[in-house]
């Protein structure tokens, strides 16, 4: 029988919305802490580590079926110490036990349920379990632990050894291959075999947007002149933004599509997806000048500002997939609703947004999908593009007014350091690309929030923030994306304190996350000692690997500050993943973005003088790929800018391999000095 307890458990003192969702479960949940493991040791009980996140549909299902159930809770409370983890807060715990479950079962996912000994060693795990199966597992493991404890210990030790060996395989490679142009071309050829040439993305479902994959492929296509790859990326962007994955009324992307045509999303929306997708669409706009990409980026930024930005310029984490217990209810429409709201405009709207067999989902609900042939629609309806867009905007506003009366999906209102940094970068890039002052203001306020509220007095970062409280030591991912955002903020006003802060965070990271046996950095810092083992993240996923982003940061900062050993460190890290990139290119695309800097000519472009901002933006808007821009004010001490000013002039210096060409005054002349392919 599902029910909530009148008295809350220990999670009531947490700030994570996901943990608070479980605070009134009859299961006596504890947060992940030394106290929980000490209790398990004292009572000689195994620990259940149950991991999920607020926008996870199947996490809610298992909570309702199992963790709200009195019978199940009694079993769990009697035989186990039960620990709930928000994977977004404690991504290190998630990473470790996800690896354990993958070693046991060959696959993982969320909810992630891992049974461990009081010392943290795992011995059994899986993902979602329905009630009957869960009760069977609880009883079986409890008996096994009581009757054959040594068997459990032996298995846990073997599994832990497997985790540690997997870690060594990643970090202690003997063979490294240099990352060159032919390697990239060969890997992309292999990658192309999996392209969906009709609907974009990979040729399988479910389909994930994977922004860092398409940013790399777009840059590669630009540098190599590979039209097939460029066409595939643009097809993917068009299909994603035109279908149900994208919120046609508000802007913003869902987590993934359950089908091949990006139609039916898993309706949750995550900050990290939207931040990276904005950056991707901005880059596509710079390369193509297709205003549709600009529109998608701006609409998504408007959505983020309206729905997810707090008063302090912090960004919230996610929207749930469900509202009123039903997935997608907030986003879909019946034909009858649309007719009543839109009246005489319904006919045109229904053609523009596929209120037909294509847009039909289930229970007579429709998912809005933009028509793929607007030209034919304009001809058949005798309407200009401008008039059509005006009409559709009026329809959207009418629907949004009605949507405001609906129950919104659950909001995860904690702020994650790295995700906030990604969004800060997206707003900064939007200002540089589009010139909108509002975007610049938000980017700088966002950085002010990160440095003001998510930095300790000792200069280290925190992972999460909510209601005035920052907590959990930040992970390598947080340092990586904050450093990237600082470099983007530097470009906005030539404020070199941002660059200096990025350099300081890098120095701190190299010390605190160091692995003496590897060029890679650990995911957790030396100061953190509450994990069974320290892991290293090298594979790019929906969020790029912390090590790949750190390698890019090392490369850029080495050029800004002339620190050759940082560039060498970045290249050593890159060489150590070349084999993996060749084997599975989509899993190493952010590394490959660094590989492009090695394989193709790379430029430093210094801009000094009175009209720096104007020239910087004009250069940025040409879509330069293999370049860092170094705009400067008078008296800069940056190696790229020092002693470069000439009174009364704004000069552009194009440099390659520490050698600069003669300075020029116009953007056009500078572009002639840059080899684009």
CB 273 within 8 A of CB 211: yes
- Structure token digits, residue 178: 């240099």
Tell me the C-alpha distance between 440 and 230, whole Å.
29
pLDDT at 677 over 70: no
The CATH class that applies to domain 10-171 reads alpha beta
**Residues 1-7, mean pLDDT to the nearest whole number:** 64
Whether the CB-CB separation of 473 and 530 falls below 8 Å is answered with no
- According to DSSP, residue 195 is labeled B
Asked if 94 and 51 count as a contact pair (C-beta separation under 8 A), the reply is: yes
Q: Which of these ranges, 55-59, 82-86, 218-222, 482-486, has the smallest mean pLDDT? A: 55-59
**What pLDDT shows up at residue 173?**
67
Neighbours of 551 (CB within 10 A): 30
Please write the tens of the pLDDT for every residue from 523-556: 999 987 778 788 999 999 999 999 999 999 999 9
Q: In CATH, what number does 181-324+412-599 get?
A: 1.50.10.10
Write down the pLDDT at residue 4.
66
Mean pLDDT of 109-116: 94
Task: Give the pLDDT of residue 498.
Answer: 97
583: CB partners within 8 A, 6+ apart: none
Residue 400's SS3 state is helix
CA distance 56 to 48: 19
Q: What digits encode the pLDDT tens for the residues 156-198?
A: 999 888 888 888 877 776 656 778 899 999 999 999 999 999 9
Q: Quote the mean pLDDT of the chain.
A: 93
Q: How far is residue 669's CA from residue 618's CA, in Å, rounded to a whole number?
A: 12
Alpha helices in 127-252 (DSSP H): 131-147, 149-171, 181-192, 211-224, 227-242
The 3-state secondary structure of 408-477 reads CCCEECCEEHHHHHHHHHHHHHHHHHHCCHHHHHHHHHHHHHHHHHCECCCCCEEEEEECCEEEEECCHH
pLDDT on residue 657: 84
- Sorted by where each begins, the domain ranges of the chain are 10-171, 181-324+412-599, 331-405, 603-672
Q: What percent of the chain has pLDDT over 90?
A: 86
Phi/psi zone of residue 85: left (φ > 0), alpha (ψ -120 to 50 degrees), beta? beta
Q: Which residues contact 211 (CB under 8 A, 6 or more apart)?
A: 273, 276, 277, 279, 280
Pairwise pLDDT comparison (511 vs 645), residue with the higher score: 511
The CA-CA-CA angle for residues 543, 544, 545, to 5°, reads 115
């Amino acid at each position: 029988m599902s029910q909530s307890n009148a008295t809350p458990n220990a999670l009531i003192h947490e700030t994570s919305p996901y943990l608070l969702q479980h605070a009134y479960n009859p299961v006596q949940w504890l947060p992940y802490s030394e106290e929980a493991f000490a209790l398990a040791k004292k009572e000689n009980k195994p620990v259940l580590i149950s991991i999920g996140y607020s926008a996870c549909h199947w996490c809610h299902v298992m909570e309702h079926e199992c963790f709200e159930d009195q019978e199940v809770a009694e079993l769990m409370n009697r035989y186990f110490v039960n620990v709930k983890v928000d994977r977004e807060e404690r991504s290190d715990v998630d990473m470790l036990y996800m690896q354990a479950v993958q070693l046991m079962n060959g696959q993982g996912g969320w909810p992630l349920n891992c049974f461990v000994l009081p010392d943290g060693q795992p011995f059994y795990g899986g993902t979602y379990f329905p009630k009957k199966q869960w009760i069977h597992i609880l009883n079986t493991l409890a008996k096994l632990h009581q009757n054959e404890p040594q068997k459990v210990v032996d298995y846990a030790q073997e599994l832990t050894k497997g985790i540690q060996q997997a870690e060594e395989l990643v970090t202690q490679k003997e063979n490294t291959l240099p990352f060159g142009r032919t390697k990239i071309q060969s890997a992309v050829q292999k990658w192309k075999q999996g392209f969906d040439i009709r609907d974009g993305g990979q040729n399988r479902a479910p389909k994930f947007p994977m922004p860092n994959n398409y940013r790399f492929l777009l840059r590669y296509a630009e540098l190599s002149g590979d039209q097939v790859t460029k066409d595939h990326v643009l097809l993917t962007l068009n299909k994603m933004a035109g279908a149900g994955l994208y919120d046609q009324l508000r802007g913003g992307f869902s987590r993934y599509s359950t089908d091949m045509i990006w139609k039916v999303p898993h309706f949750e929306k995550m900050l990290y997806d939207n931040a990276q997708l904005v950056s991707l669409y901005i880059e596509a706009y710079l390369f193509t000048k297709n205003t549709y990409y600009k529109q998608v980026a701006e609409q998504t930024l408007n959505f983020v500002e309206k729905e997810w930005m707090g008063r302090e310029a912090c960004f919230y984490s996610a929207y749930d997939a469900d509202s009123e217990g039903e997935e997608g209810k907030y986003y879909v429409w019946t034909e009858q609703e649309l007719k009543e709201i839109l009246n005489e405009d319904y006919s045109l709207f229904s053609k523009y947004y596929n209120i037909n067999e294509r847009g039909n989902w289930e229970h007579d609900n429709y998912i809005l999908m933009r028509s793929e042939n607007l030209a034919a629609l304009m001809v058949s309806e005798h309407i200009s593009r401008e008039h059509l867009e005006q009409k559709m905007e009026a329809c959207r506003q009418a629907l949004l007014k009605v949507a405001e009366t609906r129950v919104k999906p659950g909001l995860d209102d904690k702020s994650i350091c790295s995700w906030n940094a990604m969004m800060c970068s997206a707003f900064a890039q939007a200002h540089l690309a589009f010139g909108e002052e509002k975007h610049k203001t938000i980017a700088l306020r966002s950085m002010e929030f990160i440095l003001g509220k998510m930095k300790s007095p000792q200069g280290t970062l925190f992972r999460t923030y909510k209601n005035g409280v920052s907590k959990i030591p930040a992970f390598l991912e947080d340092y990586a994306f904050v450093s990237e955002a600082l470099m983007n903020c530097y470009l906005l006003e030539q404020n070199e304190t941002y660059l200096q802060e990025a350099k300081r965070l890098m120095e701190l990271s190299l010390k605190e996350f160091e692995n003496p046996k590897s060029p890679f950095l650990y995911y957790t810092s030396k100061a953190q000692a509450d994990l069974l083992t320290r892991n290293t993240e090298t594979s790019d996923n929906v969020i790029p690997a912390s090590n790949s982003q750190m390698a890019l940061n090392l490369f850029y900062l080495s050029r800004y500050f002339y620190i050759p050993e940082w560039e060498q460190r970045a290249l050593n890290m890159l060489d150590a993943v070349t084999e993996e990139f060749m084997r599975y290119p989509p899993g190493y695309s952010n590394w490959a973005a660094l590989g492009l800097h090695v394989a193709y000519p790379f430029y430093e472009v210094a801009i000094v003088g009175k009209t720096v901002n104007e020239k910087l933006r004009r250069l940025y808007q040409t879509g330069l790929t293999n370049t860092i821009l170094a705009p400067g004010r008078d008296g800069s001490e940056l190696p790229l800018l020092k002693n470069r000013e000439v009174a009364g002039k704004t000069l552009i210096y194009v440099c390659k391999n520490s050698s600069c060409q003669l300075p020029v005054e116009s953007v056009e002349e500078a572009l002639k000095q840059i080899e684009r392919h």
